Amino acid sequence: MNADTINFRNLPIDIGCTILQTAAILEFTNAISWTTTSKAVKRWIEPILYHTVRLTSTAAIEAFAFSISSRKDDSFFASAVKVLSIELAGNEDDTVYDHLPAIFRTCTGISNFVYHGIRIDERTIAYIDSCPRLCRLHLGSCISDLSSLACRPRPHITHLSLAVPEGSECGVKSLLTSLCGLELVVVANNTHILELAERTIRESSTQRRVACGRVMHFDMTILPTDDDRARLTEVVKSTSGAILFLLHSPAYPQPKLEEISASHVLFVNDICKAWGDCLHRPSELDVWQVTERIYAAKRAVVLKKLLQVERLLAQTRETMAAAGWLDEDRLSDKDGVGMENRIAPVRCLLQEAEESVEQLRTNLCA
């Protein structure tokens, strides 16, 4: 037997399956032709081939809808398709909407949905509601009425990216408040929405006792003025937020990933391949992974500072105990009345601080 070949007949089925599935991930294009070798190979590889479905034209949408109808097995697509990306140039004809119902009916097991360059209507909203595992929602098309998205809580959605039309302030606030599980937000190219979104999420985080807020990631394809930059920086300094300016200018070099966690505001040259072709397209390292890295780094900083505060409070308690200031009986005699009146408020503040720190740690570690 050639050293570069494997005789699968001599291997246990589970090992052969694992080898083929791994090879299919590494050699995706070639793996398509492998499905014709045998029914077993096709059964093993097809779920990998359909894991991420990216449709960028009316023809692609029509072909995928035909595959669904010809297979006559809706359960396969419901379990196999995990990422569905429909990205059109915006000049497609209305026939594209004739093929969407079949796709929306079957691909209900997705965790990531990208919808760009195509009208969002009640069918799109109904599809979003039919996907119980959907946690990452990228809406690159403007929604004229954001209230249609805010009518349900959708606690499973943790990542939201959307294009915000002018005059949608009320809709943005309602939407961000209704998505109770939201962790990361991207608002594209809209500076005046920034403060409203940050304030809404911070207020809702406080109400739910979320410890250090959400990372605010804003895609800005235009260069802001110095005043805008200063204002935006001040907005996110009070949170664990970050602003990422995606620019197309050689004046701003691509930052390294290790530099991201140290900054609140970043300027980026052309988005490199590792970051994805653009905001709303899935890639090997997409915008969410970058944002999550920021969040993890800033959360680590908060935990470090929290530990320092805990140590300081412990030392304060030890000092007060050594001086007898924590013993109410010791200070309740005639000579200690004045001291007790001065120490009691300090003792209360210490207890409140310890309780607040304990609650903060609980939220951070949840």
Residues 231-274 have pLDDT tens digits of 555 555 544 445 554 444 444 444 444 444 444 444 333 333 23
Token pair in block for residue 194: 């920034």
Q: Which fold does the domain 51-299 belong to in CATH?
A: 3.80.10
The pLDDT tens digits for 178-225 are: 887 877 776 655 556 666 776 776 676 555 433 334 444 444 445 556
Cβ atoms 111, 82 nearer than 8 A: yes
162 bridge partner residues: 139, 187
- The confidence score (pLDDT) of residue 66 equals 93
- Residue 36 is encoded by which pair of tokens? 């014709």
CA dihedral 75, 80, 82, 86 (to 10 degrees): -80
Confidence of residue 75 (pLDDT cuts 50, 70, 90): very high
- Ramachandran region of residue 167, left (φ > 0), alpha (ψ -120 to 50) or beta? left
Q: Is the pLDDT of residue 85 over 80?
A: yes
The pLDDT value recorded for residue 237 is 52
Measured between alpha carbons, how far is 100 from 102 in angstroms, rounded to an integer?
6
User: Cα(359)–Cα(365) distance, rounded to whole angstroms?
Assistant: 10
